[in-house]
Amino acid sequence: MRIHLGTDHAGFELKNEVARHLSEAGHEVIDHGAHVYDPQDDYPAFCIAAAEAVVADPGSLGIVIGGSGNGEQIAANKVKGARCALAWSEETARLGREHNNANLMGIGGRMHSLEDALKIIDAFVATPFSEDARHERRIQQLADYEAK
């Protein structure tokens, strides 16, 4: 699977670990920055770039990383067609895929150990959308609102 990453300084270290971990697992990882550590950088451009890439690349997934994941998720969700779930446990990661067909997840690099963060990310990447009618219906309602 192709996986697009975006992060600010607060997720920089985790992003590099995630890129290594996912590449070793056989995924194609595309890094939309930050490419250098700058403690003063801002998350929106990196997360919007990752979300735009995911929307333009159907079937791919995205992971946006920051200190909390909050701002990163907000930024990604500004992109039309992006459905970015804030994943803070393996269960919320799985539900983001099963119920919301999330094509991106946000995660806080300051919120988890590396081991736990990688488990959360693995749960997200491994879980398919359920395709249940009630979830399809709700996602369509969001898409209809977005199209207005």
Ligand X SMILES: O=C[C@H](O)[C@H](O)[C@H](O)COP(=O)(O)O
**What is the DSSP code (8-state) at residue 89?**
S
| 99: annotated active-site residue | yes
Q: Does 12 bind ligand X (CB under 6 A)?
A: no
Nearest to ligand X of 43, 124 (CB atom): 43
> What is the CB neighbour count within 10 angstroms for residue 86?
20
In the list 3, 6, 8, 49, the residue contacting ligand X (rule: CB under 6 A) is 8
Q: In angstroms, rounded to a whole number, what is the distance separating the alpha carbons of residues 133 and 69?
A: 29
Choose among 114, 93, 111: nearest CA to 16: 114
Nearest to ligand X of 28, 38 (CB atom): 38
Burial of residue 13 (number of CB atoms within 10 Å: 0-12, 13-18, 19+)? middle
Q: Does 10 bind ligand X (CB under 6 A)?
A: yes
Q: Cβ 58 to ligand X, closest distance in Å?
A: 27
Residues 50-89 that bind ligand X (CB under 6 A): 66-68, 70-71
Contact footprint for ligand X (CB under 6 A): 8, 10, 43, 66-68, 70-71
